[in-house]
Amino acid sequence: MLMQQILIAGQWRDANSNKSFQSSNPATREPLANEYPVSTWEDCDAALTAAAEAVVGLRSISGAQIAEFLEAYATEIENNADAIVDMAHAETAYPKPTRLAGGELPRTTDQLRQAANAARTGNWSVPTIDTNAGIRSQYGAIGPVAVFGPNNFPLAFGSISGGDFASAIAAGNPVIAKANSSHPGTTELFARCAHQAAQRTGMPAGMVQLIYRTSHTDGERLVADARIGATGYTGSRHAGLQLKAAADAAGKPIYLELSSVNPIVILPQAMEQQHEEIATEFTSSCLMGTGQFCTNPGLVVVLKSGATDSFIAALSEQFSEAPVGTLLSSGVESSLESNLEILVNAGAEIVVGNTPADSNRYCYANTLLKVTAQQFIADPETMQTEAFGNSSLLVVTESMDEVNAVIACFEGNLTGCIYSATDGSDDAAYNQIAANLQSKV
């Protein structure tokens, strides 16, 4: 096994580390060949020092030059597309043609080129001349940005290739990227492309840097360091809130996209008229990508009725018959199982699933749980435990008052959805709940 190097101050070098980890192939559970170091604070400190020096260097570099780097980086990615897609497939089991080569990769290069255009025009800085007050202002670079990428979008949301990275660089900020442990090899390939592009376009040595993993303590120390300008994080709620607490305590900006249960409310007449179609739509949405999207619908609120019983029966059948997809890692698999156990122990009824599936790969049976509105209202925090993956929770209510009471318990979410009848027969119910749900999304 080969220990991979980190990128610090423009140089690939050995990490200061006494621990390492490996990624694995989710489709086989087998570890992949390379080892990756767990960096100590010494590496983080070196990256911060180099990034602070890059801030000074970037002051004399124009937006047009930054655009040249971003465009060169996008081209370098395209030149190495096969290797990147092969590695991402090995580390995630995502399909190559549809998800990786045909979806995420062009999205990645497109957003880098969009960022290049923003850097070249400078429109992001919103230059303003207030003649009445005699004030001229514009936004500027904030300083080194730490970026933590998620496990489920290795290319388009990656710490050294995604939107947080692209926007930080476009605004003239150096980036310290922390790879996600599920796909360090993919992140390394991106870093090598970025490093080549940075060297070719004359960027400061510390503008793009990569470490693979740190301790939780060092991660919190990194986002709170005086040299950090801001942090971008996409991932789990638990880890994100820990980083946010550390950044907040130091008065440092941190921008987070956290996990979410993304509630759906199905109104009575929509259920009566379309329960079969909605069941098919919901199953497809919930199980797409094995449920590993931040917008995956993890909670459905319905009113008790005969049509609702038919809807649940249809869901049970479709969840049972649908192929069980592959999960991203052993961590995702164990987290899904343990979080479903939390829901069941809190009183959720198992409609279908909640059992291990194929032992040869990371996976878990398509799972649907059910609770009453009163159960949900009695313990809303537990009932909103995100079981990230191919699962969802049904909340069955007795009245529109209970629907509103359930919605009132919701935490913040990335998305929300209401199904209402197209003939206007649900309009009164819609008007009762829409504003309440909107305030939770």
pLDDT tens digits, 39-83: 999 999 999 999 999 999 999 999 999 999 999 999 999 999 999
Q: How many C-beta atoms surround the C-beta of residue 99 within 10 A?
A: 20
Long-range contacts of residues 348-351, Cβ cutoff 8 Å, at least 24 apart: 348/375, 348/383, 348/393, 351/312, 351/315, 351/316, 351/319, 351/394
- Looking at residue 186, its pLDDT comes to 99
Using only the alpha carbons of the chain, give its radius of gyration: 24
Enumerate the β-bridge partners of residue 11.
8
Mean pLDDT across the chain? 97
Q: Using CA atoms, how far apart are residues 7 and 190, in angstroms rounded to an integer? A: 11
HSE-CB at 228 with a 13 A cutoff on CA atoms is 26
Find where tokens 């990615």 sit. Answer: 77
pLDDT band at 424 (very low <50, low <70, confident <90, very high): very high
Of the residues 44, 193, 286, 294, which is catalytic? 294
The CATH fold assigned to 6-125+135-258 is Aldehyde Dehydrogenase; Chain A, domain 1 (3.40.605)
Under DSSP, the state recorded for 326 is P
- Looking at residue 290, its pLDDT comes to 96
Is 417 part of the annotated catalytic residue set? no
Amino acid at 298: G
- Looking at residue 57, its pLDDT comes to 96
In this predicted structure, the answer to whether residue 29 has a pLDDT above a threshold of 90 is: yes
Residues comprising the chain, all counted:
441
Of the residues 35, 257, 272, 281, which is catalytic? 257
The pLDDT tens digits for 330-373 are 999 999 999 999 999 999 999 999 999 989 999 999 999 999 99
131: which residues sit within 8 A by CB, 6+ positions away? none
pTM for the whole structure:
0.94
Backbone angles phi, psi at 266, to 5 degrees: -110, 115
What's the angle, vertex CA 150, arms to CA 149 and CA 152, rounded to 5?
140
Could you give the C-alpha distances from 75 to 69, 78, 117, 153, 163, in angstroms and in order? 10, 5, 15, 20, 17
Q: Give the mean model confidence (pLDDT) for residues 309-321.
A: 97
Please list the alpha-helical segments (H only) found in 250-291.
268-287
In the three-class reduction of DSSP (H, G, I as helix; E, B as strand; rest coil), residue 121 is classed as: helix
Which letter, b or e, does each residue of 342-353 get, where b requires 16 or more Cβ atoms within 10 Å of its Cβ?
ebeebbbeebbb
Q: What distance separates the 2 farthest-apart alpha carbons in the chain?
A: 70
Question: Do residues 419 and 267 touch, judged by C-beta distance below 8 A?
Answer: yes
pLDDT band at 2 (very low <50, low <70, confident <90, very high): confident
- Looking at residue 387, its pLDDT comes to 95
- Looking at residue 240, its pLDDT comes to 96
The CATH number of 263-438 is 3.40.309.10
| Whole-number percent of the chain with pLDDT over 90 | 98
- Looking at residue 147, its pLDDT comes to 99
232: which residues sit within 8 A by CB, 6+ positions away? 145, 146, 147, 148, 164, 165, 168, 254, 255, 256
CA dihedral 248, 251, 252, 257 (to 10 degrees): 30
Q: Using CA atoms, how far apart are residues 153 and 158, in angstroms rounded to an integer? A: 6
Find where tokens 């318990």 sit. Answer: 409
Question: Do residues 218 and 196 touch, judged by C-beta distance below 8 A?
Answer: no
Q: How many C-beta atoms surround the C-beta of residue 235 within 10 A?
A: 20
pLDDT band at 171 (very low <50, low <70, confident <90, very high): very high
- Looking at residue 18, its pLDDT comes to 87
Extents of the domains making up the chain: 6-125+135-258, 263-438
Q: How many C-beta atoms surround the C-beta of residue 59 within 10 A?
A: 11
The pLDDT tens digits for 236-249 are 999 999 999 999 99
The DSSP H or E segment spanning 318 is helix 306-321
Question: Do residues 236 and 35 touch, judged by C-beta distance below 8 A?
Answer: no
In this predicted structure, the answer to whether residue 269 has a pLDDT above a threshold of 90 is: yes
Is 294 part of the annotated catalytic residue set? yes
In this predicted structure, the answer to whether residue 1 has a pLDDT above a threshold of 80 is: no
Q: Give the mean model confidence (pLDDT) for residues 218-227.
A: 98
Find where tokens 């497109």 sit. Answer: 110
Q: Using CA atoms, how far apart are residues 66 and 42, in angstroms rounded to an integer? A: 29
Query: Which of 218, 190, 19, 11 shows the shortest CA–CA distance to 91?
Result: 190
HSE-CB at 358 with a 13 A cutoff on CA atoms is 13
